Every structure is written in C-alpha cells, then in structure tokens.
Amino acid sequence: MLTVDPGTRHIPLPESTDWYTPDEHLRWLARRTVGEAVWPVAEAALQDAGRIVPQRIEPLAAIADQHPAVLHQYNPRGERVDEVEFHPAYHELLDTWTRFGFARAAFRDGWRGLPGRAPRSLIAALSYLWLQADQAVAGCPGGMIEAMARALERNDPTLAARFVPRLADDTGNHLTAAMFLTEKAGGSDVGANETVAVRQDDGTWRLHGEKWFASCPQSDLALVMARPEGAGPGTRGLGLFLMPRHLEDGSRNAVVIHRLKDKFGTRGMASSELGLRGAFAWQVGDIERGMKQMLDMVNLTRVGIATVTAAVMRRCAHESLAHCAERSTFGRRLETHPLMRDTLAELVVDSVAGLTAALGVGEALERADAGEPGAEGVLRLLTPLFKMYGCERARISASEAMEVRGGNGAIEDWPNARILRDVYIHSIWEGPGNIMALDVLRAISRGAAPDWLADIERRAEVVMADGPARPLGAVVLAELRRVEGGIAALASADGDAQQLPVRRLARRMAILATGARLSEQAREHAAETGSGRLSWLAARYLARLGGEDAVAAVADDVAWLEHADAIFRGGPVPLQLGERAAAEVARAHELSVPA
C-alpha cells in the first residue's frame, strides 16, 4: 500500500524560547544606553522578558486576538450595566504586564533593587521585546497606565499622590487607565470637540457629551477632554478632567457604552463609542492648560508607538529569517537566493534602525525631563518624526514579511496577518502621518529646530573622527545642510506652501536623525568589537536619502552576500566591508571620501 507523505517537513514552523539573546543590536545598544551602573539589573530583566514573551505572551496574544471583547449593556433584570467581557487571555496578558513591573519601574523607586526609577531607555528596551508579541494589550491598556501616571505627576500633585501608586502597582491591585479625546466633530482636530464640563458648587465637574473612539472603556480612570461652560473655542478652551468609572459609593458613573468598535486590528483590546450623561470628574491641574496637559499623555503614547514600530520590524525580520533558514526552493535554502537576501537585508536594516530610534527617543525623553539644555527641542521633533516614519516602515516590513512567508503569511494560523492588522491601527492612533507632519511643522515654528539640528551636527562630527563609518559623517552633514534649507524655506512660505512639502521633509528628517545615531553607534561598535556590521547597516539605511542609485551602490555589491548571515543575525563582519559600503554611499552623494 502506498504511504501518503503529508509533507509537513516542507513547512517551517519557527520556534524560539528566547527573543533577547539572538538580538545582537539590542544586547549591545541597551547596555550602552542604560549605563554600566544599571546594567546588571537591566540585563536580568531583559533576559527574563526575552523568555516570557515567546513562551507566554505570544500564545496569549494570538488567543486574545481571536476572541474580541463583548459588551453586555443590560443584566438579566433589564438594568443598564455596560460591562465589557474579555477572554481570560486578555486578563492574563495585562496581569503579566503589570506584574512584570513596567509602570512600577517607570514611576516608583526600587524596582528590582534599583536605587531610583528605571531609566526610560530601559523601559523602551523591555517594551521593544514585549511588543514584538503583543501590540494590542501591552500597546494600549498597558501604555495608557504609564501615560496617565506621567500626565498626573507632571500636572496635578494631589491627584498624582492619590492615584499614581495604584496605577504603578505590580502586585495585582493596579488601576487601569484610558484617555477619551476623539469625538464625531473632532478626531485629529480636537479643538472642534463639543463635550461640555459643568462646574459644581463643591469644585467637582459633570461631563456631558459623546466620545466616538474611546479605547479601554472599562478602565478604572479616564482622562477626558471637555470644554468648561462658557470657555472659548478651539483647543485653548478645553480643560482636562479625570473621570472614575465608579463613584466612591461603588455605583457606576454616568457613562453609557453605546457599542464596541469592530476594528481591523488590535482586536485583543476594546475600543468603544460612549456617552457622558453628567459624569462625575475631577479637574486636572490648571483648567486653562487642558490641552497642554493632555499632551503629556499623548506624547508618551507617541513615544510608545515608536517602540511598537521597532518591535514590529524586529518581529518581521525574525519571522522571515527563521522561515528562510528552513524553507527550500529551487534546490537550495530560501535564504541563500540573492534576491531573497536583498529582501531580508531591508527587513534587518529597518529592524536595527527602528531599535536605534526607539531607544533614542526614550533617552531624549529622560534628558528633557531632567531639564538638560536643548533636550526639549530634540524630543519635540524626534517624537512625531519617529512615530510617523516608524509606522510607515513597519507597515512595509509587515507586508514584506507576509510575502516572504508566501501564502501561509496570509493565513490566520500564522502571526503575520495579526502583526499587519495591528500596526495599521498604531499608524492611526495618536495621529496619522499627516498629523505627525503637521506637528513637525508646529515644532519648527515654535523654535525646536536649532537644538535638533545641533544634536545631528554633533553626532556627525563624532562619526567623522575615525572608524569604518567615517564617510557617513559627511553624508549626514551634507543632508543636514539640505534639511536646514528646507526648514528655512518653510519659515518663509505661506500656509498652503508650508504644508505641501512638510511630510516629505519630515521623512528625510526622520531618516537623518536615525541615521546619525546609527552611524555614531557603528563607530563605537566597530571600536569595541572589530566588526563592520553596524557600519554596513548604517550605510544601507542612509543610502535611502540618495535615492535608488545610492541604495544600489551598497545593495548591488555582491561582496556582502558572503557575510549575509552575520549581517542578518549578528557576528563579525569585516571592517572593510562596512567602510566600503559607507564610502559608496558618500560617493553616491557626490561627496569626497576621507582617506
């Protein structure tokens, strides 16, 4: 009898129990960024996360995605309850995130024995690992907890003292958080919002209105934008309020949930439409600074989304490399085909650059919070730049990784479809690309550019000192002058003429800011390890500023194919290869190459 071969051996099923150790750039860059004093604690935490995420978080995230939340508006007696029911996987995901201590590390002293709070760059590195599996629950409900704690700490000491310890709890007794901005009248245009706040004799407020896209409606606390009665139009007339889900007597606040959104992505967590029917709330900080205070929360979530995009790009590279290492086509392993190697190289370049950007903006946030001169301007531009460009590249990476896996990539049994759907949601959350470009324009108009430009120039000068990436310093400086010209042109243009080029300029600024950092890291990495890996990756990344010809100068040089495995997965790459790639990019920019 003829035995039928099921052929399953032909379908690679990548399995990994550790996502930290194989990530050479994360191991090196996290240590460089957090510093030696913190590194023993940081390394242990990263090792723990690296094991927890593939073994526990990834399976739970897939289950939560397949079982969206359900809204129960009424109980059996016909009473309005508006309860949101989640699959147990959701609760386990959020509980694991809180017990690991993300908010605890960021907002309370002593996490894992640290003398103070954890560095923001360490939070970013840990989040980068976690978000590779779970964009939905860690990305939104978890991110909201951190962002609310920051907004309260910076704007209302009384409310912060009351609620931040519970928001940052890691013992299972934490509060959950949300922010409700979007209305039918105002999505990105928050100043058009119509929700009204009415002050009571006791100093509390009652909120009346509708919120159109309210994520995490089941949360214990929500920061809500509303216009106090009699306040003026636009964002200047908005106040910020903290609204509890339950009142002190245990009864429900006057909030009704109309329905849950049937979203394209991040289906593992709930988004809703809700009505405020005289809901009780406390005023947060200065009533006339509502929008500025809310931006403390929004900006941290934008920083978080930059980390999401880095995580997505890493996951896409990881999945594609694992698949191509085991899959055979046309008589050879898939990853040995030069055209596939070129595709994998792009995925790895974006992954490495994404991590550089994520830890870079985390470090900038910490410096700005510490009051370091010039840091606020750097952060003010990096945040929208990295959010915008990171989302663009993450969407491309997710689509490319799906193609690499072929037909299986489009099947829900595999993670690619979920990754792709989720990253599209993050592209829209906290402002899509055009809104980020307008935010860049706003930051430039308010004086952020000089500090940002000075930071880039300083990094370029460091790169030009020595090392295989030295020619890239000249590329960064040349592009810096071009960007300076673009910024000056914006300043002299009228409104319509300002908007037309700003997204293209912002894209170049994002590549420049990341490329300058990556080139600086390439210099240090080469000096420490003797490897030209980061120099080659930085060259291929910065080549994008020179168009297809510049990219081809690096990508079409067959010499790198011999070292593809080390370029993709880490390991020694000849310094000469990195230096050669850097020199080719400089020549493509018609720059002289340092001898």
Note the pLDDT tens digit of each residue in 530-545.
Answer: 999 999 999 999 999 9
- List all residues 6 or more positions away from 191 whose beta carbon is below 8 Å from its beta carbon: 233, 234, 235, 236, 237, 238, 291
- 490 and 567, same domain (yes or no): yes
- How far apart (Å, rounded) are the C-alpha atoms in residues 272 and 266? 13
In this prediction, residue 418 carries a pLDDT of 97
Same domain assignment for residues 33 and 162: yes
Q: Grade residue 10 by pLDDT with cuts at 50, 70 and 90.
A: confident
By the 10 Å C-beta count (0-12 exposed, 13-18 middle, 19+ buried), 500 is classed as exposed
Residues 224 and 138 in one domain: no
Please check whether residues 122 and 203 belong to one and the same domain: no
What is the H or E stretch that residue 436 is in? helix 433-445
Residue finishing a domain among 250, 285, 320? 285
Contacts of 351 (CB under 8 A, 6+ apart): 25, 310, 313, 314, 316, 317, 397
DSSP reduced 3-state for 493: coil
pLDDT, tens digit, 9 for 90 and up, residues 25-67: 999 999 999 999 999 999 999 999 999 999 999 999 999 999 9
CA–CA separation, 524 vs 462, rounded Å?
10
Residue 594 pLDDT more than 70? no
Which value, to the nearest 10 degrees, does the dihedral of the CA atoms of residues 137, 141, 147, 153 take?
-130
Q: Does residue 147 surpass a pLDDT of 80?
A: yes
Specify whether 154 is located in the same domain as 29: yes
**Residue 226, in any domain of the structure:** yes
Q: Are residues 123 and 207 in the same domain?
A: no
Record the pTM.
0.95
Looking at residues 548-559, what average pLDDT do you find? 96
Read off the tokens for 555. Answer: 């990508």
Residues 106 and 207 placed together within one structural domain of the fold: no
The pLDDT tens digits for 420-432 are: 999 999 999 989 9
Confirm whether 421 is domain-assigned.
no
| Rounded distance between C-alpha atoms, residue 102 and residue 355, angstroms | 18
CATH number of the structural domain spanning residue 194 = 2.40.110.20
- Domain limit, last residue, from 248, 268, 285: 285
pLDDT for the residue numbered 578: 97
Radius of gyration of the chain (CA): 25
Does residue 339 fall inside a structural domain? Answer: no
Among 256, 285, 314, which residue terminates a domain? 285
* 160 and 200, same domain (yes or no): no
* Cα 301–Cα 303–Cα 307 angle in degrees, nearest 5: 105
- Say how far apart CA 350 and CA 589 lie, in whole Å: 21
In this structure, is residue 64 part of a structural domain? Answer: yes
Contact 573, 563 (CB under 8 A): yes
Q: Based on the domain organization, do 496 and 553 belong to the same domain?
A: yes
Q: Please tell me the distance from the alpha carbon of residue 118 to that of residue 131, in angstroms, as a whole number.
A: 19
Same domain (yes/no): 489, 547? yes
Q: Are 321 and 176 in contact (CB under 8 A)?
A: no
151 falls within a domain: yes
Quote the pLDDT of residue 9. Answer: 78
Contact between 277 and 208 under an 8 Å Cβ cutoff? The reply is yes
| Residue 101 φ/ψ region, left for φ over 0, alpha for ψ in the -120 to 50 degree band, beta for the rest | left
Host domain of residue 189 = 177-285
Task: Output the DSSP codes for 527-580.
Answer: HHH---HHHHHHHHHHGGGGHHHHHHHHHT-GGGGGGHHHHHH-S---HHHHHH
Q: Is residue 279 in a domain?
A: yes
Q: Are the C-beta atoms of 572 and 531 separated by less than 8 Å?
A: yes
pLDDT at 214 (0 to 100) = 94
Tell me which residue has tokens 């060259």: 539
DSSP lists the bridge partners of residue 244 as 221
Q: Determine phi and psi for 173, rounding to 5 degrees.
A: -115, 30
Q: Domain check: are 218 and 92 in the same one?
A: no
- Segment 553-564 shows an average pLDDT of 97
Q: Is residue 105 within 8 Å of 149, Cβ to Cβ?
A: no
Cα 119 from Cα 197, distance rounded (Å): 37
Helices then strands, counting H and E runs in the chain, come out as 20, 11
Kindly list the distances between the CA atom of residue 5 and the CA atoms of 9, 21, 328, in Å, as whole numbers in the listed order: 10, 36, 17
Cα–Cα nearest to 436, from 381, 501, 388: 388
Which tokens belong to 57?
A: 């978080």
Position 590 pLDDT exceeds 70: yes
Query: Is 115 part of any domain?
Result: yes
Cα–Cα distances in Å, from 110 out to 50, 129, 525?
Answer: 22, 22, 31
Residues 91 and 238 in one domain: no
pLDDT over 70 at 281, yes or no: yes
pLDDT tens per residue, range 444-475: 999 999 999 999 999 999 999 999 999 999 99
CA distances from 62 to 250, 410, 412, 415 (A): 34, 15, 9, 8
Q: How far apart are CA 127 and CA 111, in angstroms?
A: 16
Q: Do the domain assignments include residue 222?
A: yes
Query: What is the average per-residue pLDDT within 562-586?
Result: 97
Q: How many domains does the chain contain in total?
A: 3
pLDDT (average), residues 371-384 = 96
